[in-house]
Amino acid sequence: MARVRADPVTTALAHPTRRAIYLALSHQEELSTVQIETQLEIDRYNLYHHMKKLASLDLIENHRDVGRARWWRRAATVPLPELLHASPALAAPPSPQQPSQSTFESQPVLQAAVDQGGEIRVIHLEGSRDQVGAKKMLEMLAQQHGIPLDMPWNFLPESIVLIAKKR
């Protein structure tokens, strides 16, 4: 499997543990190491390993020590994509202002998923540092599964739609 090359911040936040640490600190003003360890249910050695990487990129900082407790806070704001539930309105006909071939091709698939009670999620990437990584991931998946995916060199996904079958 080929490595995805991106800027250091994107690469660091692509790791699920680092992303979870960053998101936990994004939702609180500050957290102690013990609070983060408990909230994320990871051992302290792994926690410090990932926090050291985030701190080296100035994404988080150890801003105060009280006794043996270390308190952390987010030092930089990085826009991350949000995962949202899609509504059936997503499967509505495309707007005539911006018709695209891929939009028209995806409509029957989305409509069928909605009709069959499938679960649809949308990951919004617009303005996110994850757009390049998402494109590389899609290209690698397509190559591994033998799916022709001809994206122009300047294509950057703004959103990714995930469709799950109803169980």
Express each pLDDT in 58-72 by its tens digit.
999 998 888 888 999
Helices 16-27/44-56 angle, 10° precision: 80
* Mean pLDDT value across residues 43-69: 91
Identify the bridge partners of residue 83 per DSSP, sorted by sequence position: 123
**pLDDT for position 5:** 62
The domains of the chain are located at 8-74, 82-164
d(CA 107, CA 92): 8
pLDDT tens, residue by residue, 4-42: 566 788 788 878 889 889 989 988 999 999 999 999 999
Q: Is the pLDDT of residue 146 over 80?
A: yes
Nearest to 126 by CA among 154, 81, 158, 78: 158
* Mean pLDDT value across residues 140-154: 82
* Mean pLDDT value across residues 64-90: 71
Question: Is the Cα torsion angle 129, 151, 118, 110 positive or negative in sign?
Answer: positive
What is the average pLDDT score of the chain? 77
Identify the bridge partners of residue 85 per DSSP, sorted by sequence position: 121
**pLDDT for position 102:** 43
Q: Is the pLDDT of residue 130 over 60?
A: yes
The token pair that represents 117 in the structure block: 């009670």
Q: Is the pLDDT of residue 106 over 80?
A: no
**pLDDT for position 58:** 94
* CA 152 remoteness from chain centre: 22
Q: Return the CATH number of the domain spanning residue range 8-74.
A: 1.10.10.10
